[in-house]
Amino acid sequence: DSGVTQTPKHLITATGQRVTLRCSPRSGDLSVYWYQQSLDQGLQFLIQYYNGEERAKGNILERFSAQQFPDLHSELNLSSLELGDSALYFCASSVGNRRGDQETQYFGPGTRLLVL
Amino acid sequence: KNEVEQSPQNLTAQEGEFITINCSYSVGISALHWLQQHPGGGIVSLFMLSSGKKKHGRLIATINIQEKHSSLHITASHPRDSAVYICAAPTGNQFYFGTGTSLTVIP
């Protein structure tokens, strides 16, 4: 158990809908990362937050948005869902540092999203 | 062109064999990550290294920053090592992932 929790575990929805995925980092961790893993594209980095502020942005679509709240939990919002958004969405956390140095990341169990 | 290349893509080994997985990258990085993903889907970070070698139990990771190459070794492999191993190269605002090496260790 990494200490990172994600809800829900599974989500089935329809095209055009909007969903919110939630992540609670390990106690004390300031950095949160979001990743998407699909069968055809493998793991992709979406976005990173550090202490409430966006730090790095990867391949996140405009239809997707995220935020990190004052209690450090994070949410990933996916809207106007398409079939191709079906994937495993992982959240990870790390201790966090102001310089942005690389750190070991602890991964949550993932949310499996199926868009029908 | 992929920024991170892993080899082999698939690997089957007999229990007890010494295993090597290779990762080459083309981007400039300060550190490289090795991840393990089990059949159930969960991901565990095995190593983060920026130079030299790290060891954890039967796992050893090495990196040569100048040659942009890293290897993950498993000594005395065991069926419970069966998983997908993924290397990740973070640079700037991006993480580049290898496509993974699927390892099966047969008893």
pLDDT at B1: 64
The pLDDT tens digits of the residues spanning B26-60 come to 988 889 999 999 988 899 999 999 999 999 999 99
Is the pLDDT confidence value at B79 over 70? Answer: yes
Is the pLDDT confidence value at B68 over 90? Answer: yes
Residue B41's SS3 state is coil
Neighboring chain B residues of A42 at a CB cutoff of 8 Å: 97, 99-100
Closest CA to A57 of A70, A44, A69: A44
Which residue, among B23, B93, B96, B101, would best test binding to A if mutated, counting the most A CBs under 10 Å from its CB? B93
Picking from A45, A57, A104, the nearest residue to B45 by CB comes out as A104
The average confidence (pLDDT) of chain B is 94
List % helix, strand, coil for chain A (3-state, nearest 5): 5, 50, 45
For residues B11-29, give the mean pLDDT. 95
Which residue, among A6, A10, A45, A113, would best test binding to B if mutated, counting the most B CBs under 10 Å from its CB? A45
A49 lies within 8 A of chain B by CB? no
Q: What tens-digit pLDDT sequence spans chain A (116 residues)?
A: 889 999 999 999 999 999 999 999 999 999 999 999 998 888 999 999 999 999 999 989 999 999 999 999 999 999 999 999 999 999 999 998 888 888 999 999 999 999 99
pLDDT at B93: 79
Contact B99 A57 (CB under 8 A): no
Q: Give the Cα separation of B35 and B58 in Å (integer).
A: 15
B24 neighbors B69 (Cβ within 8 angstroms): yes
Q: Give the Cα separation of B6 and A7 in Å (integer).
A: 32
Q: Which residues of B touch A (CB under 8 A)?
A: 30-31, 33, 35, 41-45, 48, 50, 86, 88, 90, 92-95, 97, 99-100
A18 lies within 8 A of chain B by CB? no
Q: Give the Cα separation of B6 and B41 in Å (integer).
A: 19
Which residue of A lies nearest to B48 if distances are taken between CA atoms?
A104
For residues B72-86, give the mean pLDDT. 97
Contact A109 B41 (CB under 8 A): yes
B29 neighbors B38 (Cβ within 8 angstroms): no
Which residue of B lies nearest to A2 if distances are taken between CA atoms?
B44
Contact A44 B97 (CB under 8 A): yes
A106 lies within 8 A of chain B by CB? yes
